[in-house]
């Protein structure tokens, strides 16, 4: 088993191949596609989560407002936290399958083809 970043049997040419791929426009596009999806969504979710925590701590009257029977706004927001988590996971999975995976596979195939 090897532990460095180059496959067995490859010396500096493997490292150079990885550097070429990392500096390639295709890899830049892949990174941009990932970051333009993941970063804004992460910021939005953390903001949404912090809003829930802050409202729970400082707006007890509002969060205690009954919505339906014994269900209050805090409960609805709490359930919405779970739903938004699953929605984001599903959305990212779909994004990765359609936008990220094909680009990554093309880069991987090219890199493996160069190694042969």
Q: What is the pTM of this model?
A: 0.74
pLDDT score recorded for residue 17: 79
pLDDT tens-digit readout, 78-108: 999 999 999 999 999 999 999 999 999 999 8
As beta bridge partners, residue 72 has 66
Closest C-alpha to 24, from 104, 113, 116: 104
| pLDDT band (50, 70, 90) for residue 115 | low
pLDDT score recorded for residue 43: 97
> What is the rounded distance in angstroms from the CA atom of residue 107 to the CA atom of residue 33?
14
Domain chopping of the chain, boundaries: 23-115
pLDDT tens-digit readout, 6-38: 454 455 567 887 888 888 899 999 999 999 999
pLDDT score recorded for residue 2: 43
> What is the rounded distance in angstroms from the CA atom of residue 7 to the CA atom of residue 32?
27
């Amino acid at each position: 088993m090897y532990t460095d970043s180059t496959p067995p049997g490859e010396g500096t040419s493997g490292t150079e191949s990885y550097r070429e791929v990392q500096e390639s426009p295709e890899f830049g596009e892949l990174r941009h596609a990932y970051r333009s999806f993941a970063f804004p969504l992460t910021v939005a979710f953390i903001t949404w989560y912090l809003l829930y925590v802050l409202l729970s701590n400082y707006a007890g009257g509002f969060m205690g407002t009954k919505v339906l029977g014994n269900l209050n706004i805090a409960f609805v927001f709490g359930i919405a936290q779970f739903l938004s988590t699953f929605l984001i996971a599903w959305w990212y999975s779909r994004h990765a399958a359609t936008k990220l995976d094909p680009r990554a596979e093309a880069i991987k195939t090219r890199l493996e083809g160069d190694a042969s």
